C-alpha cells in the first residue's frame, strides 16, 4: 500500500503544517485505520493537537452539539485540532441534513487543519452517499485541494482475518 519512502515522508509530519488531506482508501481490514492512528499518535508526540472520530460519531456530534454539552465539548476539541482524523468516511449513506452539516464542518475547517480520511470508497463514489452532486463537489474541492490519496490494494488480505483469534483450537472444535 505504501512504500518506505512515502512512509518516511508522512512521518516527517510537514503535511500537517501544510494542511494536507490524506485519503486512505481500500477494502476493510487492510490497515487504513491502523496507519491513521499511528500517524495521529506520532503527531501528538510532536506537539500537535489531534482529533479522532468516526464519520458516524462526527455526524452525531454535528447534529446534537446545539442540544448536548458533551457534543459541544467534543466538537470544540475536534474543531480546534491541528489534525482531524475521520474514520470510515462514506461507510453508509447520509441524509440531506447530515450532508449539509458535513459540508459546513469541512468548509469551516478548510485551511485551519490537516485531515486524514479513511474510506473503503474512492472520492469518485462519495456522491452516491451524500446524495447531492454539487455538495459533494464542494466538499471534494476543499478536501482534494492539497491531498494525497493512498490506496490499500484489493489484493491484500484483511489483517483482521490474517491474525484472527478463535475461541476453539483445532482439536476441541472436532470433538
Q: What gap in Å lies between CA 175 and CA 168, rounded to an integer?
A: 11
The dotted CATH code for 4-174 is 3.40.50.300
Rounded to 5 degrees, φ, ψ at 147 are: -150, 160
- Reported in sequence order, the residue ranges of the chain that DSSP labels E, i.e. its strands, are 21-25, 50-54, 83-87, 114-119, 147-151
Q: What is the CA radius of gyration of the chain?
A: 18
- Tens-digit pLDDT string for the chain (175 aa): 678 898 899 999 999 999 999 999 988 888 899 999 999 999 999 999 999 999 999 999 999 999 999 999 999 999 999 999 999 988 777 888 888 898 899 989 999 999 999 998 877 777 777 776 777 788 788 877 888 888 887 654 444 444 555 555 555 545 4
Q: Is the dihedral of CA 45, 48, 54, 56 positive or negative?
A: positive
pLDDT at 139: 79
Domain ranges of the chain: 4-174
Question: Which residue is associated with the grid cell 506520532?
Answer: 42
pLDDT at 154: 61
CA atoms within 13 A on the CB side of 150: 20
pLDDT at 160: 44
**Which residues lie closer than 8 Å to 59 by C-beta, 6 or more apart?**
94, 98, 101, 102
**Which residues lie closer than 8 Å to 124 by C-beta, 6 or more apart?**
none
Q: From residue 161, how far is each of 30, 34, 54, 87, 89 by CA, in Å? A: 10, 15, 22, 20, 22
Q: Whole-model pTM?
A: 0.83
pLDDT at 168: 57
pLDDT at 19: 94
Amino acid at each position: 500500500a505504501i512504500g518506505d519512502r512515502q512512509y518516511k515522508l508522512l512521518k516527517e509530519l510537514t503535511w500537517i503544517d501544510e494542511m494536507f488531506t490524506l485519503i486512505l482508501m481500500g477494502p476493510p481490514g487492510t490497515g487504513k485505520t491502523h496507519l491513521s492512528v499511528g500517524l495521529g499518535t506520532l503527531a501528538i508526540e510532536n506537539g500537535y493537537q489531534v482529533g479522532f472520530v468516526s464519520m458516524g460519531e462526527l455526524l452525531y456530534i454535528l447534529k446534537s452539539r446545539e442540544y448536548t454539552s458533551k457534543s459541544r465539548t467534543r466538537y470544540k476539541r475536534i474543531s480546534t485540532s491541528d489534525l482531524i482524523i475521520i474514520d470510515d468516511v462514506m461507510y453508509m449513506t447520509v441524509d440531506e441534513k447530515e450532508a449539509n452539516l458535513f459540508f459546513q464542518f469541512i468548509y469551516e475547517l478548510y485551511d485551519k487543519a490537516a485531515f486524514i480520511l479513511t474510506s473503503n470508497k474512492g472520492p469518485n463514489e462519495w456522491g452516491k452517499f451524500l446524495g447531492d452532486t454539487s455538495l459533494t463537489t464542494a466538499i471534494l474541492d476543499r478536501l482534494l485541494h492539497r491531498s494525497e490519496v493512498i490506496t490499500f490494494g484489493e489484493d491484500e488480505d484483511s489483517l483482521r482475518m490474517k491474525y484472527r483469534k478463535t475461541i476453539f483450537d483445532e482439536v476441541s472444535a472436532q470433538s
